Structures are given as structure tokens and as C-alpha cells.
């Protein structure tokens, strides 16, 4: 089978993005937030946890700690109890308090709007930083989570396994202005149709362009049973 040329890959990637845009016109960040600080805290909580569960916890958390200084001076045990259901609550508490203290000490109490600054904060890696930049600061970024990694592999866009390398590869395939919204579209597609164990290939809008077509059932009736809709538990 002939190897796909660079030009062909770029064209296929952009066509797939357009199809995803038509399929998920309402794609957006599914974490609830009203400020960069709230999104940063919610994204830290979302590690190994569903957005639905995080959104159940954050109203209480945000009400108790309305400002970054409140997080910085928080009582560990009280915070742990509020976020316990998100899992890894002790480590997340450490990250949130540490992040808040760093924001107060280094950035005058304002969440920074640059990648190089965000990734220096406790508990904040490139994925979290890109979520905050793209959705709270309108700075384009690719969110390479587990759904994103799985799908770009299935799409045949890259064989890379390192998230940073995947981010750079995909960034070269799509216009910069599309990075943030493309991340949402891919995550929505991964949650709704292109599941890890059994994707709903028979109803996938990308079937004709996906080299992994057939990984899941291809008949429409069986595939329809696999389609999910949010919010996700």
C-alpha cells in the first residue's frame, strides 16, 4: 500500500476536521467555569476523573474559595473533603494549594496567560495549560488527553506516543486558529462515537477517511447501540 504523502495527509486531516465541525457544531469545554482560576482548578481536578463529576464538586469548592488567596490559605482537610469524590484528592489538594501560592507569590494573584508561566505552577502540565489558555484566554492550544491520543492514532496522523510530540505533529496539520476547537471536537467524538474498546464505526462520519474503519462494528444497527451522549459519568 503506498505511503500517504505529506500533502495528502494535510488535506485529509483538514477534511476530517471540517466533518467534525459539522458533526459537533456545539463542541466546547465541558468543565464549568467563570474565570481562568476556576478553569485551572477544575482542570487539575479532572485528572483521572470525569468532567461530570468535577462539575458536581466545583460549585461548593468555588463558593468556599472565591479568590486565589483563599486557595493559598486553605485548610487541607477541608479541601480534601470537598474534592474527595474526584479521586487522588490528597495529591490534587497539594497541587491546588501549591498552584495558588505560586500564583500569589510570582504573578501578583493573577493566573498567567502564557504557556511558559503556567507550566511552572504545581500540578500544571502542558495539557492543563493548553486547556486554560484556549478556553479562558483565547490563546490557541491543543489538549492532548487520552481521547485525543487515541483518535489521532486511529486517524493515522501520527505514530508518536509522547503527548508533546503528538501536539507538535497535529499543530503542523491544522491552522493555529483551529487548535482549541479541534481539541474539543476530537474529545467529543472520542466520548460519543470513537470509544476505546469498541468504536461505533458503522455510524462514524469519518468512516471514509479513517484507516481504522472496522475496528468496531460496521453495521449501522450494532454501531448505533454504542453511540453515547453527554453528560458523561
Q: Considering 114, 116, 138, 145, which one is annotated as catalytic?
A: 145
Cα(87)–Cα(197) distance, integer angstroms: 23
Establish whether 127 is a catalytic residue. yes
Distance CA 202, CA 183 (A): 23
CA distances from 38 to 20, 29, 85, 135, 196 (A): 28, 13, 18, 11, 29
Answer positive or negative: Cα dihedral of 172, 173, 177, 180.
Answer: negative
* Alpha helices per DSSP H over the chain: 6-23, 36-45, 51-64, 68-72, 76-83, 89-107, 115-118, 126-136, 146-154, 163-171, 179-192, 220-224
- Catalytic residue, chosen from 127, 198, 219, 225, is 127
Q: How far apart are CA 60 and CA 62, in angstroms?
A: 6
Active site (annotated) includes residue 64: no
Catalytic residues: 127, 145
Amino acid at each position: 500500500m503506498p505511503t500517504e504523502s505529506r500533502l495528502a495527509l494535510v488535506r485529509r486531516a483538514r477534511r476530517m476536521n471540517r466533518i467534525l465541525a459539522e458533526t459537533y457544531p456545539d463542541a466546547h469545554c465541558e468543565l464549568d467555569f467563570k474565570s481562568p482560576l476556576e478553569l485551572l482548578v477544575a482542570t487539575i481536578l479532572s485528572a483521572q476523573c470525569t468532567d461530570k463529576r468535577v462539575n458536581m464538586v466545583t460549585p461548593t469548592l468555588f463558593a468556599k474559595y472565591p479568590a486565589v488567596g483563599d486557595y493559598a490559605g486553605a485548610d487541607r482537610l477541608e479541601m480534601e473533603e470537598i474534592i474527595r469524590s474526584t479521586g487522588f484528592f490528597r495529591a490534587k489538594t497539594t497541587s491546588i494549594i501549591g498552584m495558588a501560592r505560586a500564583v500569589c507569590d510570582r504573578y501578583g494573584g493573577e493566573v498567567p496567560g502564557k504557556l511558559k508561566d503556567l507550566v511552572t505552577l504545581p500540578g500544571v502540565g502542558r495539557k492543563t495549560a493548553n486547556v486554560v489558555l484556549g478556553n479562558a484566554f483565547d490563546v490557541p492550544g491543543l489538549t492532548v488527553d487520552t481521547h485525543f491520543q487515541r483518535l489521532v492514532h486511529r486517524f493515522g496522523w501520527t505514530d508518536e506516543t509522547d503527548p508533546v510530540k503528538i501536539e507538535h505533529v497535529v499543530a503542523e496539520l491544522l491552522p493555529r486558529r483551529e487548535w482549541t476547537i479541534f481539541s474539543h471536537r476530537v474529545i467529543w467524538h472520542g466520548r460519543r462515537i470513537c470509544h476505546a474498546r469498541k468504536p461505533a464505526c458503522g455510524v462514524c462520519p469519518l468512516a471514509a477517511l479513517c484507516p481504522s474503519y472496522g475496528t468496531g462494528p460496521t453495521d449501522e444497527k450494532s454501531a448505533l447501540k454504542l453511540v453515547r451522549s453527554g453528560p458523561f459519568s
